[in-house]
Amino acid sequence: MSFTDFKDIDQFHFGVMREEGEYIPLMSKEDEESLKNQDLPEELPILPLRNTVLFPGVVIPITAGRDKSISLLNQVSKNQGLLGVVSQKNGDTEEPGTEDLYRVGTVAKVIRQFKLPNGHTAVILQGLRRFVIEDFNRTEPHIYARVHKSDERMPAPDDGQFKLMMESIKDVALDIIDKSQEIPNEAALTIRSIDSDTFLLNFVSNNMNAEVDKKQHLLEVDDLGDRATEVLKLLNLEAQMLEMKNEIQDKVRLDFDKQQREYFLQQQLRQIQEELGGSSTETEIEEMRAKGRKKDWPEKIKELFEKELGKLQRVNPQVPEFSIQRNYLEFMLDLPWNETSKDNFNLKRAERILNRDHYGLEKVKERLLEYLAVLKLKGDMKAPILCLYGPPGVGKTSLGKSVAEALGRSYIRMSLGGLGDEAEIRGHRKTYIGAMPGRLMQNIKKAEASNPVFVLDEIDKLSSGRGHGDPASAMLEVLDPEQNSSFYDNYLEVGYDLSKVLFIATANNLGAIHPALRDRMEIIEINGYTVEEKVQIAAKHLLPKQLKEHGLDKTHLSLSKKVLEYVIEHYTRESGVRGLDKVIAKMVRYAAKSIAMEQEYHIKPALKDVPEILGSERFSKDRYEDRSIAGLVTGLAWTPVGGDILYIESSIARGRGRLSITGNLGDVMKESASIAMAYLKAHSDEFGVDYRLFDQYDVHIHFPEGAVPKDGPSAGISILTSLASLFSQREVKPRLAMTGEITLRGEVLPVGGIKEKILAAKRADIKEIILSKRNEKDIKEIREDYLEGLTFHYVERMMEVIDIALSDKLVENAKNLKAENKAIGFGTKS
């Protein structure tokens, strides 16, 4: 029950005083009988009430603020007439129409009216009896309705159930008044003074704590027995709510008393600590506590922080554990737990940034845009970790930086090269002296957001643990989208959510990556650049960057397309552009030195000026063009720094049929040479070679640049072609290169790194390339402008390779060799 009106008008406990000082008594049974016999006027002015329902016999104060309501009350009070009080269906309606009013209301008379200082009118109304609206006659200047009275159906005088129900209503109402701290005790006296069951129902219904629609429903119930049942239900519900509210308040009061006790003890402890070690630490602790209140972090972390802060308060500042605990708490405060930067998902802008920073790499950019599109639509990072794989200098790391700029996120780069301690990833337990968090969490702290773009650079360079754990295995949890939502750092000792971080890994050699780690990432291959692409990159990116870094501009140095091509072909040999960047930097420094020393130089250098600036040419495309020697073949190889041409030369000398292989080779390449020799011996007739030669001559196969390690099966067909040329003394076609693995059955198998090998062939001015038939699909995925000027031969068997690679022309000294060895027929078929 609310009984809020009793707070404002004290006389309502037993009645309402008239202006002369006499009381209006509460309604009795006799008053009810007299009201039933009174006739109602056919038309009544209607006063709409907001959030209030008036019951017969009840006296309530109301405040009228609407002009129409004030005018109606003035008119009724002046004429000492009656008015109909009807509740609005929606209390927020300022100017209610006829459709906004209920159809059942209460006839009322004005007991007292007076003006308020704010211009509103306060009136005291007493309900008389119910009525039902038949129709609305007019709405101006006030709402007038045609009404008829509505009588309640009283239970029989001997209805014991109704009497018991009324006793229960009175008992529950008195119990609510007794337990409530908001209802005055005088309200209980009022309820005990009521002798009419009808008025008791109306009085309780009017003052109970219920919604307007429920009170209106009670007013509309004709049968008093049914109304009493509904009232008792609502009173019991209110009693239960009040009991629950009191329990909660008692619990809160107990908790507050406990907090006061703890606060008192903390104050005592603070005084003791001040005596022992000074009070400067208390300021730090309070500052930490204030920061902790402002932090947006999970509830579990908040509880842990409060617990650890309590530990800090109990530690003597003079002992080492104090600084350890303080550093730990400061690290917790500095970590961005739920702080994230807002993503910019304008994919067209992202595409512009990627195109601005990187030339070419269309497939890579397309995949990154797909990744961002899925992130925009899905809203989380449950997606594969991207691993950009390719030779050095092609822009893997800078792609991550561009993605961060496009998304508007913090950019973090963590180099993993040479990292060999698992604690570098997971951190040390804080109980150790000098303990620190892992580099992963340190970088998250620097990012000041829990969703940065995190580039794991050179993930293939992770070193073995060497007794300090395996860092590659520690990365398994970091790069698993299903696990990294609770990454455990040994120093932090609690799970941290890394699922919002956009991880991008880079690698040069997939074979060096832990297999389980590689399985968690989506490999995106980034191939090397063609000469044409390098020219564009140098002109649009490298030269302007170097000019800016050296304090110059384009008026001080300009490099033509021909000069850039010449520099690329004769001073660099790489798949990326890092070496080219260094060469251009040297040319810019030459210009800067000339300007500083006031020496003349060419702002637009010609081809003949380049050697003066950069020195002699470092690389030559035609250094192995001599085809007068049998057994010299050009192969194509893949290296960690991109594709390269691989020269294979073989020679023969009198001996006992031994095979020697030199050139810093791995086991796989040595096995390829053995396979090629075995196949040649088995098919000597098809190659036109006398079988006796294999027993009387030693064969030596050499791979120049012996200091460079070489391995892999890609040189298989090149080795066999070299041996076939050597024993048959037939020339190898000019400008021809090849790559492919061979089997003892003479099949040619596919190999990898096709694009890098093709770029190396173009740098060496190769015109024809022999590949396995199953590598044809790789060629179709390469842009057509990369393939311009190249002819491809797709083969399945080794004899096809020999037919394409060897011409019918013998080398220049073949006749002399044959004359010297005519006894056994060297170079001729037996």
Q: What is the CATH number of the domain that holds 206?
A: 2.30.130.40
Other beta carbons less than 10 A from residue 32's beta carbon: 20
Q: Which of 579, 614, 649 is the last residue of a domain?
A: 614
pLDDT per position as a tens digit, 22-37: 344 566 667 677 776 6
Query: What is the structure's pLDDT at 277?
Result: 56
- What digits encode the pLDDT tens for the residues 49-70? 888 899 888 888 888 888 888 8
- Cα–Cα distance for residue pair 673/713, rounded to 1 Å: 9
Among residues 40, 122, 39, 110, the alpha carbon closest in space to that of 80 is found at 110
- Return d(Cα 679, Cα 116) in angstroms, integer: 116
Tell me if 280 sits within 8 A of 300, measured CB to CB: no
- CA end-to-end distance (rounded Å), the chain: 122
Categorize the per-residue pLDDT at 700 as very low, low, confident or very high, splitting at 50, 70 and 90.
Answer: very high
What's the pLDDT score for residue 302?
86
- Residue 115 included in any domain: yes
Looking at residue 16, its pLDDT comes to 39
Domain end call among 291, 309, 334: 334
pLDDT tens per residue, range 769-804: 999 999 988 888 777 877 888 899 999 999 999 889
Q: What is the pLDDT of residue 273?
A: 61
CA atoms within 13 A on the CB side of 173: 29
Do residues 410 and 594 lie in contact, with contact meaning Cβ atoms separated by under 8 Å?
no
Whether 666 and 771 share a structural domain: yes
Rounded distance, CA 171 to CA 156, Å?
22
Single-letter amino acid, residue 192: R
- Of the candidates 215, 430, 710, 757, the residue annotated as catalytic is 757
Does the annotation place 528 within a ligand binding site?
no
* Burial environment of residue 441 by CB neighbours within 10 A (0 to 12, 13 to 18, 19 or more): buried
CA distance 563 to 605: 8
CATH number at residue 472: 3.40.50.300
146: tokens are 């045609």
The Cα–Cα gap between 575 and 738 comes to 19
pLDDT of residue 822: 46
Q: Kindly report which listed range (585-589, 646-650, 653-657, 783-787) carries the lowest average pLDDT score.
A: 783-787
Is the preceding peptide bond at 141 cis, omega within 30 degrees of 0?
Answer: yes
Q: Are residues 303 and 354 in the same domain?
A: no
Of 432-446, 470-484, 519-533, 586-600, the range with the highest mean pLDDT is 586-600
| Bridge partner list, 649 | 632, 702
Q: Consult the annotation and say whether 395 binds a ligand.
A: yes
Mean per-residue pLDDT for 274-292? 72
Q: Residue 89: its pLDDT value, please?
A: 86
Q: Looking at the DSSP assignment, which residues form a beta bridge with residue 651?
A: 700
Report d(CA 740, CA 646) in Å as an integer.
13
**Greater model confidence, 379 or 682:** 682
Q: Which pLDDT score, from 0 to 100, does residue 730 have?
A: 85
Report the alpha-carbon distance of residue 215 to residue 207 in Å, rounded. Answer: 10
Residue 605 lies in a domain: yes
Mean pLDDT (whole number) for 335-354: 87
SS (H, E, C) 781-825: CCCHHHCCCCEEEEECEHHHHHHHHEEEEECCCHHHHHHHCCCCC
Of 453, 448, 439, 519, nearest to 487 (Cα)?
A: 439
Answer yes or no: is 25 a known binding residue: no
**Catalytic one of 402, 714, 718, 725:** 714
392 is in an annotated binding site: yes
Indicate whether 619 belongs to any domain: no
Query: Which DSSP state fits 331?
Result: H
Q: Tell me what pLDDT residue 771 has.
A: 93
Is the predicted pLDDT of residue 15 greater than 50, yes or no? no
> Considering the domain boundaries, does residue 623 fall inside one?
no
Helix (H, G, I), strand (E, B) or coil at 653: strand
Q: Is the pLDDT of residue 818 over 70?
A: no
Pick from 97, 99, 83, 80: nearest CA to 46? 83
**pLDDT tens sequence across 390-419:** 888 888 888 888 988 988 888 999 888 878
In this structure, the answer to whether residues 441 and 535 fall within a common structural domain is: no
Q: How confident is the model at residue 828 (pLDDT cuts 50, 70, 90)?
A: very low
CA distance linking residue 677 with residue 687, whole number of Å: 12
pLDDT at residue 254 above 70?
no
Question: Phi and psi (nearest 5°) for 143?
Answer: -80, 125
Determine contact, residues 478/440, Cβ cutoff 8 Å. Answer: yes
Q: Locate the DSSP E strands across 703-760.
A: 730-732, 736-738, 741-742, 748-749
Banded model confidence at residue 816, pLDDT cuts 50, 70, 90: very low
Q: Is 740 annotated as a binding residue?
A: no
The pLDDT, as a whole number, for residue 256 is: 64
pLDDT at 183 over 80: no
Residues 319-336: tens digit of each pLDDT:
778 888 888 888 888 888
Rounded Cα gap, residues 204 and 162, in angstroms: 16
Q: Rounded to an integer, what distance in angstroms lies between the CA atom of residue 437 and that of residue 495?
A: 13
User: 730 in a domain, yes or no?
Assistant: yes
The residue type found at 551 is G
Q: What is the overall mean pLDDT for the chain?
A: 81
Would you say 615 is a known binding-site residue? no
Number of compact structural domains in the chain: 5
Q: Are residues 520 and 536 located together in one domain of the fold?
A: no
Q: How much is the pLDDT for 592?
A: 92
Do 556 and 659 belong to one domain?
Answer: no
Structural domain boundaries enclosing 24: 5-220
Q: Is 714 among the catalytic positions?
A: yes
Is 393 known to sit in a ligand binding site? yes
Question: Phi and psi (nearest 5°) for 653?
Answer: -150, 155
Considering the domain architecture, whether residues 55 and 122 belong to the same structural domain is answered as yes
Locate the DSSP E strands across 663-805.
697-702, 730-732, 736-738, 741-742, 748-749, 768-772, 791-795
Residue 364 near residue 388 (C-beta atoms within 8 A): yes
Report how far residue 742's alpha carbon sits from residue 186's, in angstroms, rounded to the nearest whole number: 108
Instruction: Identify which of 444, 440, 451 has the alpha carbon closest to the alpha carbon of residue 475.
Output: 440
CB 665 within 8 A of CB 706: no
Closest to 383 measured CA to CA, from 510, 472, 499? 499
Q: Is residue 434 part of an annotated ligand binding site? A: no
* Cα separation, 128 vs 82, whole angstroms: 10
**Residue 244 located in a structural domain:** no
Phi first, then psi: what are they for 491, rounded to 5°? Answer: -75, -45
And the tokens for 393?
A: 């200098």
Grouping H, G, I as helix, E, B as strand and the rest as coil, residue 181 is coil
At 646, list the tokens.
Answer: 């691989």
pTM of the model: 0.57
Q: Indicate whether 468 and 599 sit together in one domain.
A: no
Do 507 and 545 lie in a common domain? no
CA 444 to chain centre: 14
> In the chain, what are the helix, strand and coil shares in percent, each to the nearest 5?
45, 20, 35
Torsion, Cα of 141, 143, 148, 150 (10° steps) = -140
In this structure, the answer to whether residues 364 and 299 fall within a common structural domain is no
- 71 labelled catalytic: no
Residue 715: pLDDT over 70: yes
In a domain, 354, yes or no: yes
Give the per-residue pLDDT at 10: 35
- Same-domain pairing of 642 and 763: yes
| 3-class DSSP string for 476-542 | HHHCCCCCHHHEECCCCCCEECCCCCEEEEEECCHHHCCHHHHHCEEEEECCCCCHHHHHHHHHHHH
Residue 568 in this model has a pLDDT that exceeds 80? yes
Domain boundary (220, 248, 263) is at: 220
User: What per-residue confidence (pLDDT) applies to 584?
Assistant: 92
Q: Does residue 342 sit within a domain? A: no
Looking at residue 700, which CATH number applies to its domain? Answer: 3.30.230.10
11 with 118, same domain: the answer is yes
Q: To the nearest whole percent, how much of the chain has pLDDT over 70?
A: 87
Q: Tell me: do 325 and 371 sit in the same domain.
A: no
